[in-house]
Amino acid sequence: MASIEERLKQLADENLEVDGQPIGKLLDPSKSLFDLGLSSLDIVAFGKVIAQEFNVPLTPEKGAEMRNIGDLIAYLEANAA
């Protein structure tokens, strides 16, 4: 079974791009999604994809509590079904 980080990278490659480039390989736990150049609109949309894939509640307000991708991975590890 792929790790949560690997699944997130794959989801990012399938759903996100910045200036025409896929960004899965740039999903570094120390960075935030804003650091990768995503807009808040992209992040809200990606939050919905993640919520569905991992079967977790993930509202924009919950996302705003997370400082970086490491926090997101920790949240998914603790809550994913």
Partner 1 sequence: MSTSAARCWWSSFREVGSATVIHVDLTPHASREASSALWLNEEERVRWRHYPLPGPRRRFALCRAALRAVLCSRIGCSNERLSFGSSSYGKPFALVDEAPPAIRFNLSHSGKHGLIAFAPHGRLGVDVEERIARRDFDELGEAVFGPHEQSALACVRGCDRVQLFFRLWTIKEALIKALGMGFSFDVSRFEVPPVLYQGRMSIFCFPQLPEVHWRVEYIGNEEFSAAIAHELFPSQLGDQS
Ligand X SMILES: CC(C)(COP(=O)(O)OP(=O)(O)OC[C@H]1O[C@@H](n2cnc3c(N)ncnc32)[C@H](O)[C@@H]1OP(=O)(O)O)[C@@H](O)C(=O)NCCC(=O)NCCS
Question: Which residue's entry shows tokens 């995503």?
Answer: 38
Q: Residue 1 CB, nearest distance to ligand X (Å)?
A: 25
Q: Which is nearer to partner 1, 18 or 80 (CB)?
A: 18
Q: Are 11 and 45 in contact (CB under 8 A)?
A: no
Q: Which of 13, 12, 5, 7 is nearest to 30 (CA)?
A: 5
From residue 13 to residue 42, what is the string marking binding to ligand X with x (rule CB under 6 A)?
-------------------xxx----xx--
Q: Which is nearer to partner 1, 64 or 80 (CB)?
A: 64
Q: Which is nearer to partner 1, 1 or 31 (CB)?
A: 31
